Structure 1
Amino acid sequence: MTASRLWFVHFAQAVSHITGHPLTFIVAVSIILLWGISGPIFGFSDTWQLVINTGTTIITFLMVFVIQNTQNRDTASLHIKIDELIRVTVNARNALLDLEQLDDKELEQLRLDYAKLAQEELPHHRKGPARTKAIPGKPSTRKR
């Protein structure tokens, strides 16, 4: 990773951490309240309105990129962790490791398969210990 990318990663993580803190929200609300209270002082002028509009637009514009970078990194790390769990689970289907490459129709079919499994297990769950059913397309090797 280049120095400029590494710098941005650290910057994005720090900004994301700071902006996600409750104190930052309180500061933002306080700024808006102070701006609103100062309206009569400035006669609710166009400049007074322009200050808040410009400030919030610039902050929002920049935060989109910071949040997206942080979200991309979090999603990638989560996928890697889940892939590792699938890889080491004996009865897991390794085909699930690369779901990001499937189209919407294939993903929806998998979702429906798992929803069907969940519905089939619901009555068994209410009766006692969990049972493992075969995953569609793969024979089950677990004892029931």
Structure 2
Amino acid sequence: MNHIAQTKEALGPPAGPATAFFARLAERITKFSGTTLAFCVAAGLVLVWALTGPLFQYSETWQLVINTSTTIITFLMVFLIQRAQNKDSLVLHLKLNELIAATKGASNRLINAQDFTEDEINILHQYYCLLAEKAQKENDLGRTHTVEEAEENHQEKVEAHQPKAARRR
């Protein structure tokens, strides 16, 4: 059984028809909301609302219509936009994970780095800061360094500074 089949099995049955329908609807609305047509429709509605002001004597009800409409649309769009960003972020992480997994010499510890704690991320950030410093000291731009190489160098430095008696143990 391949890895994708194992993953599907572990995740359980696919989402039901209602979830699939909502996913398709949300995707269509998200795509449409970023188009020129959507902007023109929204601008047109605001223009129609503004032009009807004299007809309704700029009443509180007239103002309430635009305020309520825009508030509801904004409220719903926040969730749709967040859903789209979550999906895009997940896809980006999957692509990066694939590149890491497929690249010889890459540190597999970075696969699913988005799930790391803040402390773990800070530790890795410090490693990469060390690698950047190391790269700056060398004039060879083609030379690469890995986290593992930095760890080995660090360990060698630690051992070099230990008293000889401590090294023998």
Indicate the TM-score class for this superposition, using the shorter chain for normalisation: 0.7 to 0.9
Conservation of the 8 A alpha-carbon contact between 2:100 and 2:108: yes
- Please identify, of 112-121 and 20-29, the stretch whose mean Cα deviation from structure 2 is larger: 112-121
SS at match of 2:149: coil
Does 2:51 correspond to 1:51? no
Shift of 1:31: 1.9
User: TM-score with structure 2 length normalisation?
Assistant: 0.69
Using the alignment, how far apart are the partners of 1:121 and 1:31 within structure 2? 57
Alpha-carbon RMSD: 2.3
Moved over 6 A (4+): none
Pick one of 49, 57, 60 that aligns with 1:35. Answer: 49
For 1:131, the equivalent position in structure 2 comes to 142
Structure 2 unaligned regions, length at least 5: 1-14, 151-169
Using the alignment, how far apart are the partners of 1:45 and 1:29 within structure 2? 21
Shift of 1:39: 2.1
Larger RCO, structure (CA 8 Å, separation 6 or more):
1
For 1:63-102, what per-residue CA distance to the aligned partner results, in whole angstroms no more than 9, with x for missing partners? Answer: 1222222222221111111101100000110000021232
Using the alignment, how far apart are the partners of 2:58 and 2:133 within structure 1? 59
Conservation of the 8 A alpha-carbon contact between 2:93 and 2:112: no
Pick one of 56, 67, 74 that aligns with 1:60. Answer: 74
- Please identify, of 19-28 and 106-115, the stretch whose mean Cα deviation from structure 2 is larger: 106-115
User: TM-score with structure 1 length normalisation?
Assistant: 0.79
Say which one has the larger Rg: 2
Distance change (3 Å), C-alpha of 1:121 and 1:37? farther
Shift of 1:121: 4.3
Using the alignment, how far apart are the partners of 1:29 and 1:122 within structure 2? 52
Distance change (3 Å), C-alpha of 1:85 and 1:33? same
Using the alignment, how far apart are the partners of 1:28 and 1:120 within structure 2? 54
Q: How does 1:65-84 map to 2 (within 5 A)?
A: 65-84=79-98
SS at match of 1:9: helix
